[in-house]
Amino acid sequence: DTEVTQTPKHLVMGMTNKKSLKCEQHMGHRAMYWYKQKAKKPPELMFVYSYEKLSINESVPSRFSPECPNSSLLNLHLHALQPEDSALYLCASSQVKAGVSYEQYFGPGTRLTVT
Amino acid sequence: AQRVTQPEKLLSVFKGAPVELKCNYSYSGSPELFWYVQYSRQRLQLLLRHISRESIKGFTADLNKGETSFHLKKPFAQEEDSAMYYCALSGGSNYKLTFGKGTLLTVNP
């Protein structure tokens, strides 16, 4: 399996809702990433997990809460979001070896709309 | 600090014409450079990485450390090459991938 999968594909939530985005990969990659992408803009890094530990948090508001339950799964818990958080949320994964970065493989994304 | 510059937001060429998408970077160490492509309604996917020095879909890119550039080239553009292209840089051990702002390539018939 050489793909990163994400569920759901689309999500509409109100500002008081709590929801979660899920990401899964079975390539044995030990680094996993969350990105936010606005229309016609590059992805913006949010979080990096390396060996299931949070290694980078790009000053993301606490209404976004990542979780890495095991080496294949990555979740992003959402609570009290704002309309400006509407975007495509991308998950990615990559190999890790002696601190060297390898190419990242991206999932198809979850299109989030906050109403 | 890592920085990637793609000077052209939009690039339009005719089918069969050569195409070059420019990418310049700023990084103090030895960078890993990548080109990613995002076709309409498809996921972001890796096109090339400088270490592999291979040609994918007719595209090539050479790392020029003197000019800190990693331009993407194809001698004869095809309509199916129309997409958003992102140059990206990874440096050091922080796993962080820094993207340029992207170039939207349109290949006209």
Q: List the pLDDT tens digit at each of the 109 positions of chain B.
A: 789 999 999 999 999 999 999 999 998 888 889 999 999 989 999 999 887 777 789 999 988 989 999 999 999 999 999 999 999 998 766 678 899 999 999 999 9
**Most B CBs within 10 Å, among A36, A49, A103, to test the B interface:** A103
pLDDT digits (tens, 9 = 90+) for A29-54: 999 999 999 998 999 999 999 999 99
Residue of A42, A101, A108 with shortest CB distance to B90? A101
pLDDT of A98 above 90: no
pLDDT digits (tens, 9 = 90+) for A60-76: 999 999 999 999 999 99
Q: Which two tokens stand for residue A95?
A: 């190999």
Q: How many CB atoms lie within 10 A of CB A68?
A: 18
Give the span between the Cα atoms of A106 and B96, in whole angstroms.
Answer: 14
Cα of B63 vs its chain's centroid, Å? 11
Q: Is A66 on the interface with B (CB under 8 A)?
A: no
Residue in chain B nearest A111 by alpha carbon: B41
Q: How many CB atoms lie within 10 A of CB A91?
A: 26
Which chain A residues touch B100 with a CB distance below 8 Å? 42
Whether residue B107 contacts residue B81, with contact meaning beta carbons closer than 8 Å, is answered with yes
- Asked if A42's CB is within 8 angstroms of B86's CB, the reply is yes
**Distance between A93 CA and the closest CA of chain B, angstroms:** 10
Q: Is B86 on the interface with A (CB under 8 A)?
A: yes
Q: Is B31 on the interface with A (CB under 8 A)?
A: no
Q: What is the DSSP letter of B92?
A: T
Region A5-18 average pLDDT: 94
pLDDT of residue A1: 63
Q: Which two tokens stand for residue B40?
A: 């309409």
DSSP B13-76: EETTS-EEE--EEE-SS--EEEEEEE-TTS--EEEEETTT---BTTBEE--BTTTTB--EEESS
The residue with tokens 């002696």 is A98
